Structure 1
Amino acid sequence: MAYVNNIRMFVRVYELGNMSAAARDQRTSPAVASSRIAELERHLGVRLFNRTTRALHATEHGQLFYDGALGILDAIETAEATVMEASQSPRGTLFVSAPLGLGRRIIAPAVPRFKKMYPDIDIRLRLSDRLVDVTAEGLDLAFHLGTLSDSDLKVRMIADCPRHLVAAPSYIARRGNPVDGATLVQDKHDCLNLRFPGAREFQWTLQTADGPRRYEISGPFESDDGDVLTQWALDGCGVILKPEFEVAEHLRTGALVPVAVATPPYPTQLACLSPSRRFRDPKVQLFSGFMIAHCRERLASA
């Protein structure tokens, strides 16, 4: 296994371009990562990376070895998946990511039930509203809300999620209830924004009689945590755009009410993503199938 672990480390260093990042990805120290690369280079008799004080770049030999290394790891993972499938005893660790709201309300509560069904599978769940690079971050599965860009990832669509523009009654009493997106902008309503590194400019695409229209919005507050925005809205600080499942209870109680109803937001897509070479893993298929069914059930009852 030592040689296989060295190859796994090489692949992650190659893909991440950073020894420390690869070490974190493989749950080890930079010193161990460096020693594994050095051992692999000694075995092959070539230098795989050129190192400078600021950067690490694959040599020509490293570039050639990368494609072969992927093939080796893919063959091992396929063989392991075949054995686990035949033995009907999948085991190992899954690294999963999800947006904060979805993860806290829907994904995380169901993980213990999955663990009881498959006690030999461990789950490492990461929650974040930022954009996630599934491959670079070494994830087995990622739940994604929003428009999907073209990629080599395997995609399983889960559901279309209705969304709403909402605000607290106290905010509406102070600023009024905008009729539509145009009023929202013209009257300079306080829009509470989700902001994280790499986020796009603040635009809300709403449904109008003439089709989709983008509105440039602004506001006094922003956060990279969607639940923080919801709390600010509950406190009367402004308007938020949210999936229905995140604000359904607040809508039922009247703590939040719809605004700009003449131009509602479009639904957003919820999907499950997985790197192509991990898609056959029985652990991945079991967890994704379980969670997809669970998500659809919960969203239908929201």
Structure 2
Amino acid sequence: MHNLLRRGASAFEAFAPGEGWPLPADTVWIDLKSPTREEELAIERALGFDLPTRDEMAQLEPSSRFYQEAGVTFMTATLLARRADQIPTGEPVTFVLARGVLVTIRYEDLRAFTIFTERAPHSALDSGPAVLLELLDAVVERLAQILDQLDDQLEEASAAIFQRPEGGDFRPLLTTLARAQSIASLARSSLVSLGRLAGFAELAGDIARDPECRAHLDSIQNDAKSLTEHAGHQASHITFLLDAALGLINIEQNGIIKIFSVMAVIFMPPTLVASIYGMNFHRMPELSWAFGYPMALGLMLLAALVPVVWFKKRGWF
């Protein structure tokens, strides 16, 4: 089922377009979620122009995502979405503005759309351009919330990295940072795409003739630009935290290797003494000497103590 909003209505209407479906004259927004090809054809017949299919939405080059045909404005933006497996992804969403009606085509649940549909009937939305502007506001607001949540996660990750007890497991932190990096990158791409869409929307006939709409779009562009810079800062911070975590891992690994290296050096001289006096040649004077065994033990002890004292003076042990 899809949603339809009429001018001045207090609620959305769910509808399933079929053969001969008529477009209500007071329609201001049609929200198509995962439409079938038959439903797309029914909508196209009612509107009088073709809609892009899912494959066309995904294959459009960035330079071809915004165009106008016969007075109809087509705009496709890549918005941040969450798949059923909770993995964030970039999802193409198409906005079509024609004769005062906005048509949106999407194939994933978007939290921004859900929030907007809950509050849209309580707003004075009397045209497609008005719906578009409020919807873009909701998308920007949602992306701002995501970046704020990401800020909190990065603060927690930073504290966990630099206040972590020695020997703790870094793997959950690295997983969190990798996920945060993916979200920040996708959010930044969405904001860039949204800013370009807002810039192109000013060329739409209904908007180009309305100074208030153009001013509203300029505000959306400025907000998207500011959030884009913030997302870039977050990406840099995530990179720093990843480098810091990997650096601390290397320091701990080097500490472990250092301990083994020091112990190997300490036991090497006693091993040499023991090897010499373990050869048992007949012409070794110490073999028949009464103090040969204590002397060998003393040499091994002395050979072990000398490296220990030297390492301590150097601060290595």
Bigger helix share: 2
Q: Higher strand fraction: Structure 1 or Structure 2?
A: 1
TM bucket normalised to smaller? under 0.3
**TM-score after normalising by structure 1:** 0.24
TM-score w.r.t. the length of structure 2 is 0.23
Q: Which has the higher contact order (CA 8 A, sep 6+)?
A: 1
